[in-house]
Copies of this chain bind each other. A is one copy, B any other.
Amino acid sequence: MLAFALLGAGRIGRLHAANIAAHPNARLAAVADAVPAAAEEVAARHGARTASVEDALASAEVDAVLIATSTDTHAPLIEAAAAAGKAILCEKPIDLDIARATAAVRAARAAGVALAVGFNRRFDASFASLKARLDAGAIGAPEIVAIASRDPAPPPLSYVEVSGGLFRDMMIHDLDMARWLLGEEPVEVHAMGSALVDPAIAAAGDVDTAVVTLRTASGRLAQISNSRRAAYGYDQRIEVHGSGGMLRAENLRPTTVELATADGFVRDPVLHFFLERYGPAYRAELDAFVTAVAAGSPPAPTGEDGLAALRLADAAQASLASRAPVSLADRTDGR
């Protein structure tokens, strides 16, 4: 039974709290949040106690922390939890600054604590099944990976302004998926982007529509397509083309109902957003973490995975600014 302290009792923290409480081999011991009422509500719902971060980390009762606070606190909390010897499951990204993120990952590694980063999409049943079949050789070696990822609507401008930009905030998930599916490290990144959804996003220095191309040393290619808007729901699709064929995973719908009239055949919009689409994935992510920690094996995605995705996001951002591809070869060699 792995006892968790939850750090951060916002929307995503509450989701994790419920998953911890429902997991047969995990329990929620403590909840910390800067807003005491938030922590209290979550703690009460799941029979946990509230605590300050310091108390939670100092508690011998706590085996692991789940970090679901705002992004700027992730790195210091990882370091503090590492110092306290706790296993760590941290929401992505580790930090918006690669140096800061690297320091946090190194701290965890140095302390010998388990560190996993919350790239929840790896645990989506369809994506995980696609990956397993790819690894089993269903289509031979991958040649082109295509990832479509669209949010239903842009976040508030206040969020955009502190998000680190579309590449670090949103596409970082797709960059992780691309690495995972390519089976090789990208060595070159090219990005193009526009603000077509909302001019205020452009005014904030960001884009809301972007496409990125990746290349690995052996010539495997990936295409990512992102938009902050999709009228028909949360668009989350993957295609992998290999020498022997294609694997693809489509969107999910709330029902299978189809209405046929003189106007055509109509199916539901796809699941609205990440809470709907990735609810089961968050549970599977927790389960993988709990299982790995219990077995003493390193949980995945690792801190290094988190850094690698951030490095790709940085490269995409740089490519957008410079209007030129960015080479990652040296940095990859240097890791």
Segment touching B, from A190-198, A283-291, A303-311:
A190-198
Is the CB of A139 closer than 8 A to any CB of chain B? Answer: yes
User: A264, B268: Cβ atoms under 8 Å?
Assistant: yes
A262/B231 contact (C-beta < 8 A), A213-B213, A248-B257, A257-B248 known = yes
- Residues 234-269 of chain A, each 1 if its beta carbon lies under 8 Å from chain B, else 0: 010001010111111111101111111111111111
User: B257, A245: Cβ atoms under 8 Å?
Assistant: no
Is the CB of A219 closer than 8 A to any CB of chain B? Answer: yes
Distance from A54 Cβ to chain B, minimum over Cβ atoms (Å): 32
Q: Which residues of B contact A221 (CB under 8 A)?
A: 192-194, 209-211
Beyond contacts A244-B262, A245-B261, A245-B262: 15 other A-B pairs, Cβ-Cβ < 8 A, are: A130-B257, A143-B209, A150-B241, A194-B218, A195-B219, A196-B220, A196-B243, A209-B221, A225-B241, A230-B246, A246-B260, A247-B258, A247-B259, A249-B257, A262-B269
* CA A66 to CA B87, docked complex, whole Å: 41
Is the CB of A133 closer than 8 A to any CB of chain B? Answer: yes
Distance from A138 Cβ to chain B, minimum over Cβ atoms (Å): 6
Is the CB of A70 closer than 8 A to any CB of chain B? Answer: no
Q: Which residues of B contact A261 (CB under 8 A)?
A: 138-139, 231-232, 244-245, 269
Pick 9 A–B contacts, CB within 8 A, sort by A.
A130-B255, A138-B259, A190-B325, A192-B215, A194-B215, A247-B260, A250-B256, A263-B269, A323-B325
Distance from A198 Cβ to chain B, minimum over Cβ atoms (Å): 11
User: A260, B231: Cβ atoms under 8 Å?
Assistant: yes
User: A266, B265: Cβ atoms under 8 Å?
Assistant: yes
* CA A233 to CA B209, docked complex, whole Å: 31
* CA A231 to CA B188, docked complex, whole Å: 28
Is the CB of A69 closer than 8 A to any CB of chain B? Answer: no
Distance from A179 Cβ to chain B, minimum over Cβ atoms (Å): 16
* CA A209 to CA B243, docked complex, whole Å: 11
Q: Which residues of B contact A244 (CB under 8 A)?
A: 231, 261-262
Q: Which residues of B contact A150 (CB under 8 A)?
A: 241
Q: Which residues of B contact A249 (CB under 8 A)?
A: 255-258
Q: Which residues of B contact A193 (CB under 8 A)?
A: 221
Q: Which residues of B contact A257 (CB under 8 A)?
A: 126, 129-130, 133, 247-249
- Closest B residue, CB atoms, query A130: B257
Is the CB of A173 closer than 8 A to any CB of chain B? Answer: no
User: A144, B225: Cβ atoms under 8 Å?
Assistant: yes
Is the CB of A125 closer than 8 A to any CB of chain B? Answer: yes
* CA A261 to CA B266, docked complex, whole Å: 10
Is the CB of A12 closer than 8 A to any CB of chain B? Answer: no
Is the CB of A50 closer than 8 A to any CB of chain B? Answer: no
User: A269, B260: Cβ atoms under 8 Å?
Assistant: yes
